[in-house]
Structure 1
Amino acid sequence: MGFWQGKKVLVTGHTGFKGAWLSELLLGRGADVHGIALPPEDDASLYGQLKLDTRMSGTFHDIRDAAGVLREVATFKPDIVLHLAAQALVRRSYKDPVGNWATNVMGTVHLLDALHRLERPVTAIVVTTDKVYENNEWAYAYRETDPLGGYDPYSASKAATELVSASWRRSFGENGLKIATARAGNVIGGGDWAEDRLVPDIIRALRDGKPIKIRNPASIRPWQHVLDPLNGYLTLAERLHGAEDGSFQSGYNFGPEPADIFSVRKLAETILNHWPGEWIDASDPQAVHEAGRLSLSIDKARCELDWAPVWRFDDAIRQTVDWYRSVADGADPLEITRAQIAAFEAAG
């Protein structure tokens, strides 16, 4: 709590799944948190369930509006920025590629330009994805030095966001603007209600007593509980903010341990160990392309930041299902979220 106490922290995308968990973490550490995001898409959003609208300041604003972003940043004058606002769904990026690129690339440009115009020291963590790498479908884990790429509009736009961040860091760092990027794996946890995303789709099917339809059962992903990468973002922000020599201004992977990288089939079957049901193979050979195998090397974060994941795969699944089942049984979402944060911090 010491580092974050009283820090002015801007969280973009605070109404999203990861943004809501992050906001709760920061509030618990005593930060002065302000958010910029679109309104939540669903009445059952975690943002609403945690009552964040009454517990932090924020505005519903589209980061594609440069003037609005500039105004919000100039008014709040943050010490630290955690940029999570994005179009984050692969399949949606095929439906609206222009909107996807405008949000992910130009939205980041608008934010970084506004931070540069403050002409004062600011630390910014730009969150991208494990999908920024040129995916060759090979077995070894991607390292931060591997080439960027992206097949689908979402992945490619996030790789471009990495380039934007690097360019801004090199071109406009003279007033103390420090920029690093964070690349997380496939994040799971309670309170994710996004459409067309695996775990929310599984939970909705189980809740409704329907078979779970799995599109790509053989796909390999680096599954991790949401608190693990968020802990990584905060660790990176602390180190970057305190560095006087330009250290930590680069990209970092925050993924699970190598032994915790499993198939979609394994994820579904493990969830069913905690919430009985059944799954069916709903593979569609005509479906849009999605990566078949993804894994991240976390050696750099481990060595340079002394960061490591806390919850293993089975822990992440158990905590995720416990959250959904507890809330379905009438538990207060804020209480169960705080309890899981406390358990995570105790385990770490």
Structure 2
Amino acid sequence: MKILVTGGSGFIGSAVVHLARARGHRIVNLDAMTYAASPASLADLQGDPDYRFEQADIRDRAALDQIFAAHAPDAVMHLAAESHVDRSIDGPAAFVETNVLGTFHLLEAARAWWTGAGRPDGFRFHHISTDEVFGSLGETGRFDETTRYDPRSPYSASKAGSDHLVRAWGETYGLPVVLTNCSNNYGPRQFPEKLIPVTILNALAGRKLPIYGAGDNVRDWLHVEDHADALLTVLTRAAPGTTYAIGGQAEARNIDIVRKLCAILDDRRPQGAPHADLIEHVTDRPGHDRRYAIDPARIRDELGWRPSVTLDEGLERTVDWYLANEAWWRPLQTRQGVGERLGRAS
């Protein structure tokens, strides 16, 4: 199968590209190479005849039409998105333009190519989204495929909008779409603005480890390689029009994640121990969702997928990857916004 992956040089995208190539799929990576993308994430695929890179913006319809015509993909995996909640608070326009308008242009380009190719039955447009579109949970309950949408941030609202567009193109035009909503990802090659890489890299540098509020916000953590496996399972096995919720079944409070990372670093880099002394509670961000959790029963029962990486194992593997790959993350430390407090709505 030839798969057009948007955002393939990003965190989740690069995990998908690596796994897809390992399974024999041909890949076209379409990426605008904005601040969170890294060429180094896929450097090992340079020279691979079954990997192609196209630098383009999903808002550029003419470029999209050319790429579809040149590569004739069997499927699209749409991961390209602005994804950092704090950045969406400070600058929501980019999130609407990329996540909503960009998805619209990609849908239209895919529909035009699919129609022109005679509407092949095997074609799929797989839209990858987030559990944040569902809002915030209380102490109990979990999100599933029937949960109503209740986005609370510009980021989640823009992703909700893109989800609705994808479903509408499936219903109105018959485009064979599938959609997934995942919980919080972590693992190798995550841009250093999210909680886990920020904690690891700040601790290594002896800098403070900022925790929003009391750190009681709960997330369901999903290792990115498990997520990539789930996404390829959905792409190759799910029926058009279906939606799957993907979670790691590993709920933890943010403060507990940070403490676990500190304990791992105490073992790996004892000269900085105890790293937990660097924890600093800071003013919470506006509209901070209290809890996310996913019920993955449908993907387990229908497609046989289950997460394979436990949270403790995944955190250890993640710390070890960052320790071993300073050449990957060091250049990213100078990019705009890294190390700064973002998300301070006035």
Query: Identity over the aligned pairs, expressed in percent?
Result: 28
| 1:206-259 Cα shifts (integer Å, max 9, x gaps) | 22122312224111001121011111110001113xxxxxx35222111012xx
Root mean square deviation of aligned Cα: 1.9
Q: Which residue number in structure 2 is paired with residue 270 of structure 1?
A: 260
SS of 1:86's equivalent in the other structure is coil
Match of 1:283 in 2: 282
Out of 303, 311, 333, which is 2:309 matched to? 311
2:124–2:240 contact (8 Å) kept in structure 1 = no
- Which shifted more, 294-303 or 54-63? 54-63
User: Which position in structure 2 is the counterpart of 1:221?
Assistant: 219
In the alignment, is the contact (CA less than 8 A) between 2:137 and 2:292 conserved in 1? no
Q: Which residue does the alignment assign to 2:159? A: 158
Matches within 5 A, 1:173-322: 173=174, 177-195=175-193, 197-216=194-213, 217-240=215-238, 247=239, 249-257=241-249, 260-276=250-266, 277-278=275-276, 279-285=278-284, 287-322=285-320
User: By how many angstroms is 1:308 displaced?
Assistant: 0.8
SS at match of 2:325: helix
1:117 matched residue in structure 2: 112
2: CA distance, partners of 1:104 / 1:87: 7
Q: Is the 8 A contact 1:47 1:53 kept in 2?
A: no
**Cross-structure match for 2:4:** 10
**Contact 1:125 1:179 survives alignment (8 Å):** yes
**2:176 aligns to what SS in structure 1?**
strand
Amino acid at match of 2:63: G
CA distance in structure 2 between the partners assigned to 1:73 and 1:28 by the alignment: 23
1:64 alignment counterpart = 59
> Shift of residue 151 of structure 1?
1.1
SS of the aligned residue for 2:178 comes to: strand
Please identify runs of 4+ aligned residues in structure 1 that moved more than 3 A.
52-55
Instruction: Pick which of 71-80 and 262-271 moved more.
Output: 71-80
Q: Where in structure 1 are there 5+ consecutive unaligned residues?
A: 1-6, 241-246, 331-348
Cα displacement (A) at 1:194: 3.7
**TM-superposed deviation, 1:179:** 0.6
What is the CA-CA distance between 1:281 and the residue it aligns to? 3.1
Question: In the alignment, what sits opposite 1:341?
Answer: none
Residues 132, 158 of structure 1: 8 Å contact kept: yes
Query: Residues 46 and 192 of structure 1 are in contact (CA less than 8 Å); yes or no, is this contact kept in structure 2?
Result: no
Contact 2:200–2:261 (CA<8 Å) still a contact in 1?
no
What amino acid sits opposite 1:212 in the alignment?
L
Alpha-carbon offset, residue 64 of structure 1: 1.3
Contact 1:37 1:61 in 2 (8 A): yes
Q: Which residue of 2 aligns with 1:335?
A: none
Q: CA deviation at 1:153?
A: 0.7
What displacement does 1:99 show? 1.5
TM-score (norm 1): 0.84
| Equivalence for 1:142 | 143
Unaligned residue ranges in structure 2 (runs of 5+):
267-274, 329-346
Kindly indicate whether residue 102 of structure 2 is the aligned counterpart of residue 102 of structure 1: no
Query: 8 Å contact 1:91–1:288 — kept in the other structure?
Result: no
One-letter amino acid matched to 2:22:
G
State the number of aligned residues. Answer: 309
- Deviations along 1:178-213, whole A, 9 cap, x unmatched? 111111111000121243x11121122122122312
The answer to whether the Cα contact below 8 Å between 1:14 and 1:47 also exists between their aligned partners in 2 is no
Contact 2:184-2:221 at 8 Å conserved across structures:
yes
Distance apart, 1:10 and its partner CA: 0.5
Shift of 1:103: 0.5
* Distance in 1 separating the partners of 2:103 and 2:327: 40
